[in-house]
Amino acid sequence: MWIPELDPGRPVYRAIAEAIAQDVARGRLATGDKLPPQRDLARALSLNLSSVTKAYKLAFELGLVNGETGRGTYVRAGDAARIPWPSGENQVSIDFASNFPMPLDPSEDVVQLCQDMARYDVGERLFEYVARGAANDDISPAALWLEGLGVPARHDGILLTSGAINGVFACLLALAKAGESVLCEELTSPGLISCARMMGLKLIGVPMDRDGMKIDAFERIATETGARVAVLNPTLHNPTLTDLSPERRERLAAFALRSGIMIVEDEVYAPLLGVPPKPLAALAPDAVCYVTSFSKAVLPGLRIGYISAPPLIAERLRNAIRVSTWMPSPMLASLASRWVKDGTATRLIAKRRAAGRERIDLARRVLRRHALASRDDGLHVWLSLPQPWRGDEFATYARERGLTVMPSQDLAATTAGGIQALRLSLGAEPSLERLKQGLGRIDRILLGRD
């Protein structure tokens, strides 16, 4: 029977959950192993049954085990596909975990957007396969959009994707091989974490401060590991909301050109800013694949994004996009092009920003007594937790009170490095009233009143 060695300095239920993780890392437990029945483990460790129940529950929430009542508890760690994303099944809970764009009132926009589909006659595009993954007609609007973000787009380096996650995935598929190290910020998006796990890539988190990723550390780690690829989110960083400072951008661009490391610049949030900072792609066009999409600022369901890449590697990326999705929907690509040209995309961004400001201001007001980072145009706020809270423990505690939040542990490339914080996304909950209630509940938990 598996008997864990418990760290005496930790609450016992936590120590058991951590022992599961450690024993998987050490090879004492393997995916699919059955853990002892709770009663047996409690007896073996001379504990209350409730402590073991709590430990198994935490292990389940951390994705370390599968638990099905009556069927036993099985180790799940090492399951590369674990995606710490909300299931969306729990309609009752107030969702602060999904980083969705700020809501628009569909009644105002759906009719016009659907009429555009007929007006622009994009239905024809349903009948085609596009040999090169993107129709020529869609390249100039893409270049126009990219230039608006400060990217000096070269037409022969532009590719269409099915959103930014597809863009990042295609870049990794084209540029990295299983087993390789890939650098990223120490806290990063769950999408990148899952993508790297599934691809067998070793993500290495680079420390950050208020000016974004530390370049000295990046240079050192890149040199030590020999990493050939980094995936970064330099603007409105998910989750810390920092922008990589202009000086650091210059240094990073120079290092990339010198060392040959390819930077995947994931700027899915840049369209939210009126004037985004100068992208790395403008500073080192031959060392950067710039990735963006319409998801966070315009329409997530459009599922269209762009890559601006060095033309020399465009064909490799095109193959990766073919492998992952063959081509983004030509009909939706055509709509995106129209909306770029007729100003609809920009108009929708302005509406979302106005809706967003209301929500950000609300969060600032309700959580004013706490350590909150926020940006006028962000989709979330970043709440540093006071001692002795841990992010994952807060998430468990909040879930029992009808709130879903994203703890720093689920956003950590390697480890959260002691950072105890929550990403509170403000766009997913449709009702402003419920959002306010949820924020109030978080405030009360932090004040020890709930």
Query: Contact residues for ligand PLP (CB under 6 A)?
Result: 99, 163-165, 189, 191, 233, 238, 266, 268, 293, 295, 300, 305
Burial class (CB in 10 A: 0-12, 13-18, 19+), 251: middle
Q: What is the DSSP string of 399-425?
A: HTTTEE-EEGGGGBSS--TT--EEEEE
Please state the closest distance from residue 398 (CB atom) to ligand PLP, in A.
Answer: 20
Closest residue by beta carbon to ligand PLP: 163
Which CB, 29 or 426, lies closer to ligand PLP?
Answer: 426
Please state the closest distance from residue 198 (CB atom) to ligand PLP, in A.
Answer: 15
Per-residue DSSP letter, 243:
-
CA distance 132 to 114: 27
Q: Which of 196, 162, 80, 186 is nearest to 418 (CA)?
A: 186
CA distance 146 to 137: 15
Q: Which of 7, 64, 90 is nearest to 429 (CA)?
A: 90
CA distance 211 to 237: 11
Please state the closest distance from residue 17 (CB atom) to ligand PLP, in A.
Answer: 27
Which CB, 266 or 377, lies closer to ligand PLP?
Answer: 266
Q: Which helix (H) or strand (E) holds 208?
A: strand 208-209
Which CB, 221 or 298, lies closer to ligand PLP?
Answer: 298
Please state the closest distance from residue 59 (CB atom) to ligand PLP, in A.
Answer: 26
Please state the closest distance from residue 192 (CB atom) to ligand PLP, in A.
Answer: 7
Which CB, 86 or 391, lies closer to ligand PLP?
Answer: 86
Which CB, 15 or 164, lies closer to ligand PLP?
Answer: 164
Please state the closest distance from residue 208 (CB atom) to ligand PLP, in A.
Answer: 14
Tell me the one-letter amino acid at 23: D
Which CB, 65 or 298, lies closer to ligand PLP?
Answer: 298
Which CB, 238 or 344, lies closer to ligand PLP?
Answer: 238
Please state the closest distance from residue 189 (CB atom) to ligand PLP, in A.
Answer: 4
- Decide: 241 and 268 in contact? Cβ < 8 Å: no
Question: Which residue is listed with tokens 């120490």?
Answer: 186
What does the CA dihedral 319, 321, 327, 328 come to, rounded to 10 degrees?
Answer: -160
